[in-house]
Structure 1
Amino acid sequence: MLRASAACEAAGIPSSTLVCEGFLQQAAFTAVGLGMPNLPVAAIPGHPGVQSDEELARNIADVTFPQIVENLTRQPQAAVLSTEPAQRSIVFAGSFDAVNTCFEENEWSDGLPVVPPTLDRVEAFLRFTDLAPDASLGVMLPDQRNASVWSVAVNGVMAGCAPRYMPVLLAIAEALCDPEYGVEHSGNTPGAETLIVVNGPIIKQLGFNFEQGVMRDGFRANTSVGRFLRLLLRNVAGFLPHKTDKATFGGTWRVAIAENEDVLARIGWEPMSAEFGFSRGENVVSLARYTGGDVIVSVNGDTPEAMLPYIADAILRQTSWQMTFTMSATFGMLRPMLLLSPILAERLAGAGWSKHDVKRYLFEHARMPAEKLERLMRDWTNHVDCDLAALARLGKVPKSFHASDDPGRLVPLVFHPDDFTIAVTGDPMRTNAYTLSHNGTLGYPVGKRILLPRAWDDLIAGREA
């Protein structure tokens, strides 16, 4: 709501944004990012979700309402915005330890030692792009800071990336700037973390792990690229813990993963990048935010009919409040993720099943009772009084959500089979899978082409990085 308040104030209309007590500091820092550090806010004591109607009414009358009146009738104090260093500015000089102390004190570090982004190191990254250093990839909220090629290189250096990773880093930055992804939600309270998936020949060129331990640190490309994303969110978008990042629990950054395209080609399945309109053989990076996940161990069976019930059940058990992205204001925007180990994908394909066939099975079998979904939405998450019959009559949900009036009927998690996302990766000889719970529009899946510099082949062959 602060963005709406900023628009009103810019038009000369007084405003007052209602902010729960736990978000007051986030509101203050977000207002700075909007260029209006003195935006007036009115506090709501505590959290309305755990207050009785009487408590909430008393808090509004005694605390919030007087602040609203003052905000609408008194001119806020003037405020001055601080300036930031320009490109190639030397912000500090000193030893490795001293640099890291400086970066930590200024909240530029994620708490781990960073590689000092010296001019020479940054320039080495810039050799791996044809874009100008000051070229903009977009603007990132909440700080509304320009994501420049230079800033990408700086954060890539800090994360420990190799210069040759630069095209991947630029594609990630471009994806974060895509309005469909919704980077402004990266500090929301569920604390979801982004998963990066890489497709194309660049996987092997840069040494991305796509086999055993694919989601674990230990490979420079996967690890440092994953860390880069979190540093970019911190230093360019402006998400700082205890300030604009309000994750209730959160998690550390996820390493970037890559698909096993050798297996995909062998079994005739399209890579995940195809879901964003790209062809096999194109270098692509895709991003989406997930609140959590769980491994599905020992998927036994020699037929799809024997294997998939276990996987469908696991996906169902991993999905609860996320159904708000199916049934609330963003109808049909839930995109659950499934990672299949190569041996499972090979068995399914060997039985004649396509990736779409697997998605169709999950759509038809990963289902919950209608009465549970309605209670989840109405009572447990307090989002909306969910009436599936009414929503179906209004055309807001497909008929599959109201096939009958039986409260025990089973309804799907998503609107369409292709709303499930599937990637093939991990230990080639283990019968395990992994499911991730999607954070809906607050990190919606997007894919971007990785643009290579004209001299890519020479740069890679010369191992300049």
Structure 2
Amino acid sequence: MSNQSQTEQSLEEINQSLYRQGMTDGLPVIPPTEERVDEMLRGTDADRDDVVGELGNNENALTVEKLASNAVMAGCLPPYMPVLEAGARALADPDSNSIQFSVSTGSWAYQWVVNGPVREKLDIASSSGAFGPSYHANQTIPRALGIAYRNTAKIYPGEKDMGVMGNPYKFSFLAGENEEASPWEPYHVTQGFDADDSTISLAGPNGWVQWFPPENTAEHVLRGMIRNTPESMRASSGEDLNATITHFVNPYNAEELEKADLSKDEIKEYMVENSWRTTNEYTRSFDTGEKVPPRQSKQYRDVDSINVVAMGGPGRVNAIAGTSIGGPVTHEIEFPNNWDDLVEEYVAETEWVPTDGFYD
């Protein structure tokens, strides 16, 4: 869109034009003028014509300039570009299976977890309300990546995106891991990265459940992680189907698990060993009423299908996201030489500060 055409149109007219072309997520966007896109490109050392990745079944190329343009529309700041580039590489990673959870009838979302020093630098929330509103980076980064995928792969509801219900978290599901309050090694370290590396991880869940244990003991937390996983969520790793579930454990409950000397691996092993469910309440045929013999199946088939991430602030509420039919994949975030200066220039401290105290 040229500068001349934009100056002749009002903000409302530009938004309506972009909306009619299917280039937005339905919410108002910031017009991607040449000046704004050029400013966004200050956040990367890559050439604007470089291809970050190929998206969709037709392997449509997402260039750095196109990514920057979508980032402008989503309201991102220039220092967010390194995170966006790493996120785009994750979307283009064949192991992410992003095309499947972008178009499937199951209405999957893009789930992002950010690790490392970049969280503090960009004020990416990981404590109270991390997955909710109020945090600029948490909201605009996933929105930009979602719009970029949509516009690059040309995915529209009822045409390629066949989600029956749709998913309210599709373009807004991002938070940092609360590494400082976690008793365990960070998620990206379990994926083979160094603690000082900054990374972004992608999965594709279609469900989200919040729950809390009746008592704050390790036993109640472990049982709750299994019992509160809906029966429709099944987890099994493997080449044919990599179906994973992520457990977001609040620091309060994580502390109780740590007191019981339980590592992440031991938590996963407990869940696999104790997730047997018996099914005997259904009939095979409505016509004949033939009974289905009681049978047992594991909700969690193996430890590789379970992810444990420390997340959230004070309180006993935990969350479960799944089943993801893609990934998870983790990609390192690489920064341009001028990145610290951009952070200082653009990232403002909030005037309100979340509470640090714990409560029930």
Normalised by the size of structure 2, how large is the TM-score? 0.86
**In the alignment, does 2:305 pair up with 1:419?**
yes
Q: CA deviation at 1:455?
A: 2.2
Contact 1:92 1:99 in 2 (8 A): no
Map 1:397-412 → 2, pairs under 5 A: 410-412=296-298
Cα distance in structure 1, aligned partners of 2:240 and 2:266 = 26
Cα distance in structure 1, aligned partners of 2:116 and 2:97 = 25
Q: CA deviation at 1:238?
A: 1.5
List runs of 5+ in structure 1 lacking aligned partners: 1-87, 381-406
Cα distance in structure 2, aligned partners of 1:340 and 1:176 = 25
Aligned AA for 1:100? N
Map 1:106-145 → 2, pairs under 5 A: 106-145=21-60
Deviations 1:55-90 (A, max 9, x none): xxxxxxxxxxxxxxxxxxxxxxxxxxxxxxxxx866
Aligned AA for 2:116? G
Aligned AA for 2:315? R
Contact 2:2 2:34 in 1 (8 A): no
Aligned AA for 1:437? G
- The structure number with the bigger radius of gyration is 1
Cα distance in structure 2, aligned partners of 1:327 and 1:416 = 7
Percent same amino acid among aligned pairs?
29
2:180 pairs with one of 259, 262, 284? 262
**In the alignment, does 2:111 pair up with 1:226?**
no
Cα distance in structure 2, aligned partners of 1:91 and 1:122 = 15
**In the alignment, does 2:189 pair up with 1:274?**
yes
Cα distance in structure 1, aligned partners of 2:197 and 2:302 = 26
1:243 pairs with one of 153, 156, 159? 159
Q: CA deviation at 1:330?
A: 2.0
Cα distance in structure 1, aligned partners of 2:47 and 2:257 = 46
What's 1:385 paired with?
none
Q: CA deviation at 1:141?
A: 1.1
Cα distance in structure 1, aligned partners of 2:285 and 2:167 = 27
Contact 1:360 1:418 in 2 (8 A): no
Contact 2:269 2:303 in 1 (8 A): yes
Distance 1:297 1:305, change over 3 A: closer
What's 2:319 paired with?
434
What's 2:358 paired with?
none
1:306 pairs with one of 220, 233, 238? 220
What's 1:455 paired with?
338
Q: Secondary structure at the match of 1:286?
A: strand
**In the alignment, does 2:254 pair up with 1:345?**
yes
What's 1:290 paired with?
205
Cα distance in structure 2, aligned partners of 1:232 and 1:422 = 28
What's 1:366 paired with?
275
What's 1:319 paired with?
231
Aligned AA for 2:228? A
Cα distance in structure 1, aligned partners of 2:3 and 2:210 = 46
**In the alignment, does 2:263 pair up with 1:354?**
yes
List runs of 5+ in structure 2 lacking aligned partners: 287-292, 349-360
Distance 1:307 1:297, change over 3 A: closer
Cα distance in structure 2, aligned partners of 1:329 and 1:203 = 32
Distance 1:464 1:207, change over 3 A: closer
1:152 pairs with one of 54, 64, 67? 67
Normalised by the size of structure 1, how large is the TM-score? 0.67
Distance 1:336 1:450, change over 3 A: same
How many residues end up aligned between the 2 structures? 337
Contact 1:299 1:433 in 2 (8 A): no
Cα distance in structure 2, aligned partners of 1:464 and 1:306 = 41
Cα distance in structure 2, aligned partners of 1:99 and 1:329 = 45
Aligned AA for 2:231? T
